[in-house]
Amino acid sequence: MQLLQFTDKGIYCPVGDFYIDPWQPVQKAVITHAHSDHARGGSQNYLCHHDSVPILKLRLGPDISVQGVAYGETIRMNGVTISLHPAGHVIGSAQIRVALNNEVWVASGDYKTEHDGISAAFEPVPCQTFITECTFGLPIYNWQPQQVVFDNIRQWVHENQQAGKTSVLLGYSLGKAQRLLYHLKDISPEIWAHGAIYITNQMLREHGWDLPELHRITPETPHSVFKNNLVIGPPSAADTTWMRRFNPYSLGVCSGWMQVRGHMRRRNADAGFILSDHADWNGLLSAVKATGAEKVYTTHGFSSAFARYLQENGIPAEEVKTEYGVTEEEETNPS
């Protein structure tokens, strides 16, 4: 029997009787991170990293039954050993290591190999079988160091200020928003945010995260306050009437998809910043190699292309169908 199986409810461990990131309600759910395609409501019990606990409660409800663990701490379920290891994707994100006797599997969840400064840095975990995401599993996806991207954003905000425009940046509320705020906290006299981003930021600040205080945008907020300041909104705000209050403004979108020109035009962005919380092509390859895995399952993104490339390079790989990325609030392929 395989230690982990791919079922219609999610990744299942029959011996330990638990699921990893199930997309149907189950008895025991081990959660890699709090994005909506990985952490879904309705399960009886959740296990995740300590830092994900308040985010899970914010998103799934304060009354869920959830246990937090530290990175590297081991939990036993029916003789199966489970531990969580940093995935570098968003605050609290983890890869799940599952071991029985001498067999070790790792389910990556979403990950990125560049340390973003705020999420615990990705650590490769040696295993025989690795289940990897591959959102950006094509060679065209090749990130620049984040410092270059943040310098470009600073420059863009500065130019907008010179032109008397408001800078509106779109990035989703868990992950991209914290990363932008952490690195750009002194960029404008005030930073204004959409409610979804404000609430997450406020909760994280209350839990001790070094994030700037934001001003919350409400229907009553006078339009004059936005001038020369930075505004952060969720990707869903693009092309909505919510944007009108910022006139005159310049719209910047932060996403890995900005690597492809057409995506920027489609979102009516004035500036596209290639910034992702997922690994790029080289990041995926280096992560797979660092595990030393003898077998790789690919999912979540360009899974067939990435599996084929691994096979051609002597690493047995197979694509598996999951529902991750399908409803992701974040970097679902917009095409």
Q: Which residues 112-141 are close enough to bind Zn ion by CB under 5 A?
A: none
Q: Which is nearer to Zn ion, 36 or 128 (CB)?
A: 36
Q: Which is nearer to Zn ion, 173 or 188 (CB)?
A: 173
- Is 21 an interacting residue with respect to Zn ion (CB under 5 A)? no
For residue 248, which amino acid is it? P
**Tokens describing residue 102:** 């001498």
Q: Which is nearer to Zn ion, 24 or 161 (CB)?
A: 24
Rounded to the nearest whole angstrom, what is the least distance from the CB of residue 6 to Zn ion in the complex?
16
Q: Kindly give the residue spans of alpha helices, DSSP state H, lying in 211-322.
A: 261-266, 281-291, 303-312
Measuring CA to CA, which residue among 278, 249, 277, 254 is closest to residue 264?
A: 254
Q: Which is nearer to Zn ion, 35 or 194 (CB)?
A: 35
Contact window for Zn ion (CB under 5 A) among 19-27, 52-60, 110-118, 237-245: 110-118
Q: Which of 13, 26, 35, 105 binds Zn ion (CB under 5 A)?
A: 35
Q: Which is nearer to Zn ion, 12 or 324 (CB)?
A: 324
Q: Which is nearer to Zn ion, 134 or 271 (CB)?
A: 134
Contact window for Zn ion (CB under 5 A) among 12-20, 32-40, 64-72, 177-185: 32-40
Count of CB atoms situated within 10 Å of the CB of 306: 26
Q: Which is nearer to Zn ion, 134 or 274 (CB)?
A: 134
**Distance of alpha carbon 188 from alpha carbon 142, whole angstroms:** 30
Rounded to the nearest whole angstrom, what is the least distance from the CB of residue 249 to Zn ion in the complex?
28
Rounded to the nearest whole angstrom, what is the least distance from the CB of residue 114 to Zn ion in the complex?
15
Binding residue count for Zn ion, defined by CB under 5 A: 5
Measuring CA to CA, which residue among 221, 213, 118, 212 is closest to residue 166?
A: 221
Q: Which is nearer to Zn ion, 57 or 185 (CB)?
A: 57
Contact window for Zn ion (CB under 5 A) among 28-36, 95-103, 138-146, 302-310: 28-36
Contact window for Zn ion (CB under 5 A) among 27-35, 76-84, 179-187, 194-202: 27-35
Contact window for Zn ion (CB under 5 A) among 11-19, 102-110, 180-188, 268-276: 102-110
Query: Computed from CA positions of residues 132, 136, 141, 147, in that sequence, does the dihedral angle turn out positive or negative?
Result: negative
Long-range contact pairs involving 284-292 (C-beta distance under 8 Å, separation at least 24): 284/132, 284/134, 284/136, 284/137, 286/113, 287/108, 287/111, 287/113, 287/122, 287/124, 287/132, 288/130, 288/132, 288/315, 290/124, 291/106, 291/124, 291/125, 291/126, 291/127, 291/130, 292/126, 292/127
Rounded to the nearest whole angstrom, what is the least distance from the CB of residue 35 to Zn ion in the complex?
4
Residue 230, C-beta contacts closer than 8 angstroms, at least 6 positions apart: 157, 166, 167, 169, 184, 187, 188, 191, 192
Site string for Zn ion, 299-328 (x = CB under 5 A): -------------------------x---x
- Is 110 an interacting residue with respect to Zn ion (CB under 5 A)? yes
N-term to C-term CA, the chain: 39
Measuring CA to CA, which residue among 136, 92, 71, 131 is closest to residue 283?
A: 136
Residues that bind Zn ion (CB under 5 A): 35, 37, 110, 324, 328
